[in-house]
Amino acid sequence: MLDTVRELLESSKIPPMDAGQMSAVLGYLFSSAERALRIQVAEVVFRHDHDHANALDLFLACTLPLADATARRQATKLFTRPCDMTIELLYDGAVNAAIRMFQKEDPRNVTHFRRAIYRALRSGALQTFFNREENRRVVAVRCLDTVRVRNHRHPQRHTLEDVVISKELLEKIGSLTGIPSGARRILGCIIKMGPDAVKPRNERDPEGDVRRPLIDVIAVGEAMGIARKTVDKYLGQARAVLRQTFNHDGRLFLTH
């Protein structure tokens, strides 16, 4: 096996080998060979025997250990304690860069192979790590409250916060006393219906602003078995009571 590698370096050609011999040489270069020997073999294959059927196999057997070392070195430079996923992403980028260099780079344009291969491995690892598909169009911000929704100036709503606030308000509304019977009935129906009492958002809905949910008076009326005009009447009574109870100074929606 060592004689075969030595013959490859001296003749600058991949010597004839059967499948078993090729497998043994690949295993040796990948697992046991010194770094300097790997670089020498990879350069000979890259420059002088690029079209051989096993050229890419030998090239990768020599460069994959270099890619692994590069990924681990870059990971420790980026993070104090890099996780396995970080190392794997860096390694994946370095391997792809090595394959790309072998398949697309013209050997005549490579003056210093050692420098070129390490530059390709390093840049490939970092580029793949920082340009991952899931990170596209992601913008870092200091405060989420300053994020604006596209096409209008209202701050982006925080869904979880809205759910918590709505649940607390509904619990308070359900425990109110001194409410007219009609308003109590309508509020009880809305609380029982939950999301079904809210009109689906539709930008073409002429009845209101799509940026806030509206009570679906038709659905509420059908659930209570009363006409829409009666629902509107009860809702008016309920709004007056709720406004006086929760928003008498007009500052409720300035804090939430």
Looking at residue 56, what is its pLDDT? 92
Q: Is 186 helix (H, G, I), strand (E, B) or coil?
A: helix
pLDDT tens per residue across span 112-156: 999 999 999 999 998 877 776 555 565 666 666 666 655 555 455
Looking at residue 2, what is its pLDDT? 78
Looking at residue 67, what is its pLDDT? 94
Looking at residue 209, what is its pLDDT? 46
CA atoms within 13 A on the CB side of 168: 8
- Which parts of the chain register pLDDT below 70? 1, 132-167, 169-170, 174, 195-213, 246-256
- Residue-range domain boundaries for the chain: 2-133, 159-250
Q: Report the predicted TM-score, pTM, of the whole model to 2 decimal places.
A: 0.51
Residue (of 155, 177, 173) closest to 235 by Cα position: 173
Residue (of 242, 248, 230, 229) closest to 187 by Cα position: 242
Looking at residue 178, what is its pLDDT? 72
Beta carbons within 10 angstroms of residue 135's beta carbon = 9
